[in-house]
Structure 1
Amino acid sequence: MWQRYTEDARKVVFYAQEEAQNIGEGYLSTEHLLLGICRLHESEGAKLIVALGASAGWVQCTVRGRIGQTDRAAVQEMTLTPRAQRVIDLAYDQASSLGDDFIGTEHLLLGLIREGDGIAGRVLAELGMGLEAARTALHSIRGVPEPKGFERRTPSLCDRSMSGLIVVDLQDSFLAPIADKDKILSRAGFLIEIANLLDVPILATEQYATRMGGTNAGIANLIGTHPRIDKLCFSSFRSDEFWSAWRDTNRNQAVIVGVETHICVNQTAHDLHARGHEVFVCEDATGTRPPEAHEIALQRMRHAGAIVTHTESVAYEWLGEAKTPEFKQALEIVKRYSDL
């Protein structure tokens, strides 16, 4: 879990454990992580706090005033609370979106700001520390110009450098009762080909493959050597193997195709969004047995913050412009699937 952490980030986790132990807590939560960052004064995370107009000392006093002291004896075995685990996940996502291949104290602070609901997140919000302001300040600390214009796409558009394609349960046994299964296979196949052309990572899932059969042969051929992960849970992100594989892609935007919209696609999209990812669900490459369930599920995902889109929209957003070397090849794929 900690392999990509910098030495300072590992120290922060150690200090966070000390902070929890000192007040007799048997768990490590967001407030302890924030106190750990504040103790490491020369870290990027502490510098970022100062750049945002506060001081590490003031943040420490504020947090300690919220958590108080317990009478329990110090506990050696620490467990992460769900909020702290989410901060860890969000730190990975923030590193990915910044193009960093490591997890530093700055990413932990961004994760705390992004999580927002724990003691640490509330304290940081009260001090006026928003995510966009923090990312801008981090670029300044690093002496790197903040990406502008075309280089920094709006989060409502897909960016091939940040995207991963998730292919959910395109197995013949699940597709058989779906009326528009041929269209789903065609549009999913189209986006898989585009993803392969543009080096967008692909992860596929199979629901209980030993009983329900594997991925449709045509789709499996297009996926090639990309991971295909068997699962029993409906949400892909409840699979440890899938979550580990997704982390390894180092991507923050998830583009989803597959079935069924109201079950596995829906639950996967909600869990992705809850972890701070930008989620794009391709309406034309998803489907359900009961037709009305498809639209209901899409509405639920929209309401939760996912973007419902079309596979061709995703393809052209990944391309960005017509002068790229891959555009001619992509256009041939577009035309070929338009004839199907």
Structure 2
Amino acid sequence: MFERFTTDARDVVIGAQQEARELRHRWIGTEHVLLALLTTPDAPGVATLTRLGVTQERGREAVVAVAVAGDGAALGEEDTEALKAFGIDLGEVRRRAEETFGEGALDAPLESGRGKRFGVFRRGKQGDGGPGHLPFAPRAKKALELSLREALARKDHSIGTQHILLGLLRSDDQQTLAVFDRLGIQPRAVREQVLTDLRDAA
């Protein structure tokens, strides 16, 4: 599928990994893809978000707020509530870990291979960018697959930034919807505006 991506779209996929690293996340999610898209405010599709006042700065604030909310947002509210039923408070787990090991102790990426000693994984230095590859979360993979469907539906021969954005706007997972909500984005309405802008620009 990636051979069909335009150079700009490939840059978004690469940029998403960088965004995840900068936020010290251990996976690449739809939120990181969105942040990478927002680095090109005039790109097809993204220009609609720019016109609606969605900037990379606002995007980053929304992503951080959603990640911090409840300290269990990465698992989702249902998982967090299920763990609470067993007496496990993720916020308290995070607080104690950071009290013992330092701020962001649970966020730093794990080192691979030689970092495993005595059954314990060492963590890379915070913000070191680490050489390891970050995996795409299932929701990000789904959004990228939807971008291919968007290109096919529009009879476009390649996948561009507009298709990636349209794929993100079709996402229905809690994390993505929470970020959109923070940004004041109603996915269905914004999707229609993106499509209108693309038609007008053609």
Q: Identify the TM-score tier after normalising by the shorter chain.
A: 0.5 to 0.7
2:18 is matched with 18
1:138 is matched with 195
How far is the alpha carbon of 1:13 from its aligned partner? Answer: 0.9
Structure with bigger gyration radius = 1
- Consecutive unaligned residues of structure 2, counting only runs of 5 or more, are 69-103, 110-123
1:34 is matched with 34
1:46 is matched with 46
Q: Distance between the aligned counterparts of 1:66 and 1:125, measured in 2?
A: 10
1:92 to 148, 168, 174: 148
- Give deviations 1:167-206, integer Å, cap 9, x for gaps: xxxxxxxxxxxxxxxxxxxxxxxxxxxxxxxxxxxxxxxx
Contact 2:25 2:108 in 1 (8 A): no
- Consecutive unaligned residues of structure 1, counting only runs of 5 or more, are 146-340
How far is the alpha carbon of 1:89 from its aligned partner? Answer: 1.0
Structure 2 residue matching 1:138: 3-state secondary structure:
helix
Q: Distance between the aligned counterparts of 2:192 and 2:6, measured in 1?
A: 19
Alignment identity in percent? Answer: 28
CA RMSD after TM alignment: 2.4
Structure 2 residue matching 1:79: 3-state secondary structure:
coil
How far is the alpha carbon of 1:25 from its aligned partner? Answer: 2.8
Contact 2:5 2:160 in 1 (8 A): yes
- Give deviations 1:283-324, integer Å, cap 9, x for gaps: xxxxxxxxxxxxxxxxxxxxxxxxxxxxxxxxxxxxxxxxxx
2:180 is matched with 124
Q: Residues 4, 135 of structure 1: CA spacing in aligned structure 2 closer, same or farther, 3 A cutoff? A: farther
Q: Which has the higher contact order (CA 8 A, sep 6+)?
A: 2
Q: Aligned AA for 2:40?
A: L
Q: Residues 140, 45 of structure 1: CA spacing in aligned structure 2 closer, same or farther, 3 A cutoff? A: closer
How far is the alpha carbon of 1:142 from its aligned partner? Answer: 4.8
Structure 1 residue matching 2:3: 3-state secondary structure:
coil
Between Structure 1 and Structure 2, how many residues are aligned?
Answer: 145
Q: Residues 125, 25 of structure 1: CA spacing in aligned structure 2 closer, same or farther, 3 A cutoff? A: closer
1:104 to 142, 147, 160: 160
Q: Distance between the aligned counterparts of 1:137 and 1:32, measured in 2?
A: 20
Q: Residues 59, 24 of structure 1: CA spacing in aligned structure 2 closer, same or farther, 3 A cutoff? A: closer
Contact 1:48 1:141 in 2 (8 A): no
Q: Distance between the aligned counterparts of 2:178 and 2:191, measured in 1?
A: 15
Structure 2 residue matching 1:50: 3-state secondary structure:
helix
Q: Distance between the aligned counterparts of 1:62 and 1:45, measured in 2?
A: 20
Give the structure-2-normalised TM-score: 0.62
How far is the alpha carbon of 1:109 from its aligned partner? Answer: 1.3
Bigger strand fraction: 1
How far is the alpha carbon of 1:111 from its aligned partner? Answer: 1.1
Give the structure-1-normalised TM-score: 0.38
Q: Distance between the aligned counterparts of 1:19 and 1:128, measured in 2?
A: 21
